[in-house]
Chains A and B, each alone.
Chain A
Amino acid sequence: MRWVNAFIILLFVALMLYATVGLPDHADPQAPANVHVSPTYIEDSVADTHTPNIVTAVLADYRGYDTLGETVVIFTAGLACILILMKRKANDKATLSKHRHSDRM
């Protein structure tokens, strides 16, 4: 079983290495990601938003909807942590008091 797993993982690594051949080079100016909307952001973001850091301008202004979704996801994760873990704590206290009660009896 172990060798089957290793074989599958090696096959997967070979597939991924084969897939990287088709990707554009690092920092290639003619890559599809760099010719579609990036030139507009680079040229216009300072005039549009008075923000020298393009990353901040894209994150909070041009793609503000994505950032809203991210923040909602993080906040929901915190709320889920409260709901699950605080409930467990209340259960712990209930079982503890029950044990103490039985000890006394």
Chain B
Amino acid sequence: MIWQVDFWLLVILIITALVALSVHDLLAAVVALAAYSFFVALLFSQAGAIDVAFVEATLGAGISGVLFIVVLLLTRRRSED
């Protein structure tokens, strides 16, 4: 448990979440969301919960990104707001 690693992981986490919320290109938002869940997985594994980190890395960064990109290909890529 090193608090510097924790602190900078949390800072990068908040930055990627803000990027995923504010960017207009939705494909970039999906990539930022995948990066977000990967940093969540790093935080979990740093806190000692390896199983939860594994689930987060496969489900959050893998499958949900693929499904989001599929839905983007079926609809439009730019967000309207």
A and B touch in the complex (CB under 8 A): yes
Does B51 lie within 8 Å of A27, measured CB to CB? no
Q: Which residues of A contact B47 (CB under 8 A)?
A: 26
Nearest CB in chain B to that of A54: its residue: B51
Q: Which residues of B contact A55 (CB under 8 A)?
A: 51
Q: Which residues of A contact B51 (CB under 8 A)?
A: 53, 55-56
* Complex-state Cα separation, A26 to B51, whole angstroms: 18
Q: Which residues of B contact A56 (CB under 8 A)?
A: 51
B1 within 8 A of A: yes
* Complex-state Cα separation, A23 to B72, whole angstroms: 41
Interface of B is mostly: loop
Interface of A is mostly: loop
* Complex-state Cα separation, A82 to B22, whole angstroms: 33
Nearest CB in chain B to that of A53: its residue: B51
* Complex-state Cα separation, A27 to B47, whole angstroms: 9
* Complex-state Cα separation, A28 to B16, whole angstroms: 30
Nearest CB in chain A to that of B1: its residue: A27
* Complex-state Cα separation, A27 to B51, whole angstroms: 17
Q: Which residues of B contact A27 (CB under 8 A)?
A: 1
Q: Which residues of B contact A53 (CB under 8 A)?
A: 51
CB within 8 Å of B: which A14-39 residues: 26-27
* Complex-state Cα separation, A53 to B51, whole angstroms: 10
Nearest CB in chain B to that of A56: its residue: B51
* Complex-state Cα separation, A55 to B51, whole angstroms: 8
Interface residues of A (CB under 8 A from B): 26-27, 53, 55-56
Interface residues of B (CB under 8 A from A): 1, 47, 51
In the A-B complex, the 6 residue pairs with the smallest Cβ-Cβ separation, listed nearest first, are A55-B51, A27-B1, A26-B47, A26-B1, A56-B51, A53-B51
Jot down 6 A-B pairs with beta carbons below 8 A, ordered by A.
Answer: A26-B1, A26-B47, A27-B1, A53-B51, A55-B51, A56-B51
